[in-house]
Copies of this chain bind each other. A is one copy, B any other.
Amino acid sequence: MQLSMTLDELNSFLDDHFPQVAGEFEVMDVTPMHLVTRANVADKHLRPGGTVSGPTMFALADVSVYLAILAMVGPKALAVTTNCAIDFMRKPAAATNLRGETRILKLGKVLAVGDVLIFSEGDDRPVARASMTYSIPPGP
């Protein structure tokens, strides 16, 4: 399978359609069925002790799998998250950006499934692992 969107197109799509999180997340790399993302961690993402909050990691996982699906099927899709399972395994480094490594495991007509490993930048032990399912609406 081939990519339907380039790195630049994915980042533009993110800025245009999710202005509430503009600048928080960006796509760093994309290949068929794989995507690398970064969360630019700011004060509002932190919890006591400087650690990155759970909702920030959830949001990174959610946007990462969403964009990895769009990269394959194109920007016309309006996929909806139906399920997420997430394991928080280590405390993220204080005030450090997050890196998400996403792979798509299934790209069906109705459901798509992907998973994400999340790292604090500069550390190769994952801080979290998430799997996400998206429901893909029927095409026009």
Q: How far is the CB of A117 from chain B (nearest CB, A)?
A: 8
A96 within 8 A of B: no
Residues of B within 8 A of A89 (CB): 82, 105-106, 108, 113
A34 within 8 A of B: no
CB nearest to A51 among chain B residues: B80
| Residues in A82-140 with C-beta less than 8 Å from chain B | 82-91, 105-106, 108, 110-111, 113, 115, 117, 125-126, 129, 131, 133, 135
State A83–B86 Cα separation when bound (angstroms): 6
| Residues in A52-90 with C-beta less than 8 Å from chain B | 53-56, 58-59, 62, 80-90
Residues of B within 8 A of A110 (CB): 110, 135
Residues of B within 8 A of A17 (CB): 48
Would you call A105 and B80 a contact (CB within 8 A)? Answer: no
State the number of copies, please. 4
Partner-B contacts on A (CB < 8 A): 17-18, 20, 43-44, 46-48, 53-56, 58-59, 62, 80-91, 105-106, 108, 110-111, 113, 115, 117, 125-126, 129, 131, 133, 135
CB nearest to A112 among chain B residues: B89
Q: How far is the CB of A43 from chain B (nearest CB, A)?
A: 8
Most buried by B among A58, A83, A125: A83
Would you call B111 and A129 a contact (CB within 8 A)? Answer: no
